[in-house]
Amino acid sequence: MVGGSPGTVQLYFTAVPFAVTFQESGLPAATNWSVNVSGELRHSMTDEINFSETSGDHSFTVGTVNGYAAMPTSGSVTVASAPPADVVIAFSSTLTFRATFHESGLPSGRGWSVGIGSQFQSSLTSNVTLVEPNGTFGYVIQAVSGYTTTYSGYLNVSGHDVVVPVRFLPQTYPVIVVALGLPNGTNWSITVTGSLAGFNATYDSNGSVIIVYLPNGTYSFSVRVPAGFTAILSSPTFTVAGTAVTGPAVRISSGNPAHGGTSSGAPWGSALDWGLLGLAVLAFAVVGLLAARGRSRPPRP
């Protein structure tokens, strides 16, 4: 009643808006992306886009980002008297890049291969190339007989091609050289010359055994002893072929006996020489056991 007379009061209701948030994942930082909700288009260079919507169903579409695919690309969000849960838009890269593995150390024409996930690629050249999207990937280098390398690792693809160096080294095997006849603590040395061009190395010791590690091949061999001693070899050459080797035995005598003799003048093959060879075999067995215990196997793909 207004002044004793009936009256009319008009009431106006306004719909209360609620926050609607779209959250992206998978895009590089500061990448521009967009969402259209019921005709309203908004952009962002952060990982969120926010709208203010009233109760009801609201359709949306996700704008195109070059090089990426969105999931979902469209849909509907329902607002019912409260802010709805964030709408997550997951982007994945549609661009691919070359991951080139470049090897060194293998002979020309020797085959080798690389695996990433279920992909394996082989080559007879120095390069193996796989195609990958952005991301971090584990890889495996397949074993090559007679050579060692770092068999596995990770590579990161981030918007450009990548090159991964792979270095192969010849597999080496222990070669045991045993000498008998020098006083304990006396220095002596061996020089090994390989069939591979340019290989020449000298090793020394003041004990009765020298152990060297060599790749497969045939080697010539010489011994240097102090003045007043003569070294007699069981053989001037030896061959490494995929396993530990007992190298030439060395008989060292004082004075200057005839070629092929020993300190007692007995020819090679005497009881003393057989004892020397027995010592070499024992050293071979010990080193072979140590090599077996310390041998590592490449990881399985």
Residue 13 within a domain: no
Residue 6 within a domain: no
Same domain, 39 and 137: no
pLDDT band at 54 (very low <50, low <70, confident <90, very high): very high
This prediction's pTM? 0.57
Same domain, 103 and 73: no
CB contact set of 44 (below 8 Å; sequence gap of 6+)? 32, 33, 34
Q: Which of 119, 141, 170 is the last residue of a domain?
A: 170
Mean of the per-residue pLDDT values of the chain: 84
- Residue 172 predicted with pLDDT over 60: yes
Torsion of CA 283, 286, 287, 288, to 10 degrees: 120
pLDDT band at 13 (very low <50, low <70, confident <90, very high): confident
| Average pLDDT estimate for 136-165 | 94
Least confident of 62-76, 116-130, 161-175, 222-236: 222-236
Residue 12 within a domain: no
Same domain, 44 and 62: yes
Q: Which of 170, 187, 211 is the last residue of a domain?
A: 170
CB contact set of 133 (below 8 Å; sequence gap of 6+)? 92, 93, 94, 95, 96, 97, 157
Same domain, 152 and 186: no
Least confident of 71-75, 91-95, 264-268: 264-268
Tokens of 94: 């549609």
What pLDDT does 278 receive?
A: 53
How far apart (Å, rounded) are the C-alpha atoms in residues 70 and 74?
A: 9
Tokens of 84: 């709805």
What is the domain count for the chain? 3
What pLDDT does 248 receive?
A: 79
How far apart (Å, rounded) are the C-alpha atoms in residues 247 and 269?
A: 16
Q: Which of 139, 170, 201 is the last residue of a domain?
A: 170
| Percent of the chain whose predicted confidence (pLDDT) is above 90 | 54
pLDDT band at 274 (very low <50, low <70, confident <90, very high): very low
Residue 138 within a domain: yes
How far apart (Å, rounded) are the C-alpha atoms in residues 75 and 57?
A: 10
Same domain, 140 and 181: no
**Which tops the pLDDT comparison, 239 or 255?**
239
Residue 124 within a domain: yes
- Residue 184 predicted with pLDDT over 80: yes
Same domain, 283 and 185: yes
Enclosing domain of residue 139: 96-170
Looking up residue 74, the CATH number of its domain turns out to be: 2.60.40.10
**Which tops the pLDDT comparison, 49 or 231?**
49
How far apart (Å, rounded) are the C-alpha atoms in residues 103 and 142?
A: 12
Closest CA to 176 of 289, 294, 297: 289
Residue 3 within a domain: no
Same domain, 260 and 188: yes
Residue 296 within a domain: no
Residue 265 within a domain: yes
Same domain, 67 and 163: no
Same domain, 179 and 277: yes
Per-state percent for the chain, helix, strand, coil, to nearest 5: 10, 50, 40
| Percent of the chain whose predicted confidence (pLDDT) is above 70 | 82
Same domain, 186 and 229: yes
Same domain, 85 and 195: no
**Which tops the pLDDT comparison, 280 or 68?**
68
How far lies 250's CA from each of 168, 222, 247, 256, in Å?
Answer: 34, 10, 9, 15
Least confident of 3-17, 28-42, 122-136, 248-262: 248-262
What pLDDT does 20 receive?
A: 97
Looking up residue 107, the CATH number of its domain turns out to be: 2.60.40.1120
What pLDDT does 32 receive?
A: 97
- Residue 104 predicted with pLDDT over 90: yes
- Residue 292 predicted with pLDDT over 90: no
Same domain, 159 and 183: no
